[in-house]
């Protein structure tokens, strides 16, 4: 399962749990825990609600002390173990939380609030077997748990069960964005595109007004290499939703798969010329074509022409940025020109500022590089890469004292042995050589050599 998928899953779980785990501690207690019995014991009552008061202000240590003293006097009361379980959970002492909640569950079997709290602990401990067992039971009273159950089955790679649980969630609660995203993640992890295709074909018929169903259907058709069907689906989508430009992103990909290059360029032009389409979709379409052109260099000029047309019509920096990247290795002045156009439209973009300052340094424009990195450091004051570039530019200008100062500052922000640190050591070696501090220069020269050998 991809890191992205796992991140999404845990974000969804956290959101749902925060909505449904609000224990109602004073409801439907058994005879030994009933409110009437609590009221008959004034001392217990005062101490118990004092503990709740301390929990209310997040003073969990104090609340725990009070509840532990009550436990010694009233060891038969499930409500005390329940509150202690919640309290230890808030203190992130999950083993103690589990111990007390399990006792509460024994004293008061099948209590929903206790079992819900137990589920939370099992999930936190990644005891998915127990968590799934409880979620299956809790879902009978709270349908929200079917979606949680689907997540758990996904995490444990039980994909058919995940789909079944999510289908029950949809039947109980209807469709929504979160469920749709989760189902897509499940199908991607399951790696059974035919099952996904069958489902989304039905969804397209059921909800023809929702273009995302057709988008997902097209994606899974591409995954299963049914390119002609995918193309038909994308064309139908465009016919029914002519302003849904995202369809052209996939259309670009499909035409390339079919080696229909001119049609791919036509679709790409629609994508990159749409001033309202989010930039990430444009970049994705450009990447499809760029990857194809790398293997078919005869289409490079046509690709650049499409991007040039887009650059004149689009109100975003995606086309200029990709033109800059395209020319970066082979035509640095032209690359710099396009990066500057991209920066004019997105003046706080980290990536663009970095490319511009690097190119200015490579093109022997140290003054311009310093000006660019000073602008960048106003926005990103702790970014060592800009300090390094400034130090290198100052070395080129033989301003060795100033270079030493900025490079040593950069060193304090680099925490990993990587290529950035290697460049820093090499730059400091040059700075100290310029200052005629031979010992320090040799020290950093040795550091650079040692790190270079380590990075090989």
Q: What is the pLDDT of residues 274-326, one digit of tens each?
A: 877 887 888 889 889 988 998 998 998 888 888 777 666 554 556 688 778 87
Q: Report yes or no on whether pTM surpasses 0.85.
A: no
Is the C-alpha dihedral spanning 56, 58, 60, 65 positive or negative?
negative
Is residue 7 over pLDDT 60?
no
Task: Tell me the mean pLDDT in the region 156-179.
Answer: 94
CB distance 85 to 100 below 8 Å = yes
Write out the DSSP string of 379-442.
HSTT-HHHHHHHHHHHHHTT-HHHHHHHHHHHHTT--S-SHHHHHHHHHHHHHHHHTT-HHHHH
Is residue 27 over pLDDT 50?
no
| pLDDT per position as a tens digit, 40-54 | 467 787 888 888 888
Write out the DSSP string of 231-270.
HHHHHHHHHH-TT-THHHHHHHHHHHHTT-HHHHHHHHHH
Please name the residue that has the structure tokens 């570039």. Answer: 389
SS3 content of the chain, % helix, strand, coil (to 5): 80, 0, 20
Maximum separation of any 2 CA atoms in the chain, in Å: 90
* Higher pLDDT, residue 287 or 31: 287
CA distance 438 to 436: 6
CA distance 263 to 10: 40
Radius of gyration of the chain (CA): 31
Is residue 39 over pLDDT 70?
no
Is residue 264 over pLDDT 90?
yes
For the record, the structure tokens of 205 come out as: 């018929």
Residue 303: the pLDDT is 87
Residue 103 CB contacts under 8 Å (≥ 6 apart), including other chains: 78, 81
Task: Tell me the mean pLDDT in the region 154-176.
Answer: 95
Which of 36-40, 195-199, 413-417, 448-452 comes out lowest in average pLDDT? Answer: 36-40
Cα torsion 361, 366, 368, 371 to 10°: value is: 110
Candidates 3.40.50.2300, 3.40.47.10, 3.40.50.10240, 1.25.40.10; CATH matching 364-456: 1.25.40.10
Q: What is the band of 75 on the pLDDT scale with cuts at 50, 70, 90?
A: confident
Residue 11: the pLDDT is 47
Q: Give percent above pLDDT 70 in the chain.
A: 89
CB distance 359 to 375 below 8 Å = no
Please name the residue that has the structure tokens 């530019």. Answer: 393
Is residue 25 over pLDDT 70?
no
Task: Tell me the mean pLDDT in the region 13-35.
Answer: 42
For the record, the structure tokens of 373 come out as: 């990195």
Q: Where are the domains of the chain?
A: 364-456
Q: What is the band of 37 on the pLDDT scale with cuts at 50, 70, 90?
A: low
């Amino acid at each position: 399962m991809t890191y992205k998928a796992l991140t999404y899953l845990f974000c969804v779980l956290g959101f749902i749990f925060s909505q449904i785990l609000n224990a109602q501690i004073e409801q439907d207690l058994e005879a030994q825990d009933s409110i009437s019995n609590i009221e008959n014991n004034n001392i217990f009552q005062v101490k118990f609600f004092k503990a709740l008061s301390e929990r209310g202000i997040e003073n969990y240590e104090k609340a725990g002390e009070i509840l532990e003293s009550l436990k010694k006097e009233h060891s038969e009361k499930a409500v005390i173990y329940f509150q202690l379980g919640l309290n230890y959970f808030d203190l992130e002492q999950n083993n103690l939380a589990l111990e007390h909640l399990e006792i509460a569950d024994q004293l008061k079997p099948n209590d929903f609030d206790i079992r819900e709290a137990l589920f939370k602990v099992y999930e936190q401990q990644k005891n998915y077997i127990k968590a799934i067992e409880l979620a299956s039971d809790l879902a009978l009273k709270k349908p929200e748990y079917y979606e949680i159950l689907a997540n758990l089955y996904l995490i444990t790679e039980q994909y058919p069960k995940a789909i079944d649980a999510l289908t029950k969630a949809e039947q109980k609660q209807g469709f929504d964005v979160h469920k749709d995203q989760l189902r897509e993640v499940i199908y991607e992890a399951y790696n059974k595109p035919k099952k996904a295709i069958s489902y989304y074909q039905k969804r397209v018929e059921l909800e023809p007004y929702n273009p995302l169903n057709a988008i997902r259907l097209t994606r899974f058709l591409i995954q299963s290499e049914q390119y002609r069907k995918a193309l038909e689906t994308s064309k139908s989508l465009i016919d029914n939703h002519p302003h849904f430009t995202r369809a052209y992103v996939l259309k670009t990909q499909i035409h390339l798969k079919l080696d229909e290059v001119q049609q791919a360029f036509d679709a790409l032009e629609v994508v990159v010329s749409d001033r309202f389409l989010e930039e990430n979709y444009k970049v994705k379409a450009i990447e499809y074509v760029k990857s194809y052109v790398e293997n078919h260099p005869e289409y490079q000029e046509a690709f650049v022409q499409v991007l040039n047309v887009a650059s004149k019509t689009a109100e975003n920096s995606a086309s200029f940025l990709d033109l800059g990247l395209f020319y970066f290795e082979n035509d640095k002045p032209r690359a710099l020109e396009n990066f500057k156009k991209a920066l004019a439209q997105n003046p706080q973009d980290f990536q663009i500022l970095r490319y511009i300052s690097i190119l200015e340094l490579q093109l022997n424009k140290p003054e311009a590089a310093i000006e660019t990195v000073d602008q960048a450091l106003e926005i990103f004051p702790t970014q060592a890469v800009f300090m390094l570039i400034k130090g290198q530019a100052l070395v080129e200008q033989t301003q060795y004292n100033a270079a030493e100062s900025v490079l040593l500052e950069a060193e304090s922000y680099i925490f990993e042995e990587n290529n950035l640190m290697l460049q820093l050591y090499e730059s400091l070696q040059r700075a100290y050589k310029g200052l005629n501090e031979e010992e320090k220069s040799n020290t950093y020269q040795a550091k650079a050599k040692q790190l270079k050998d380590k990075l090989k």
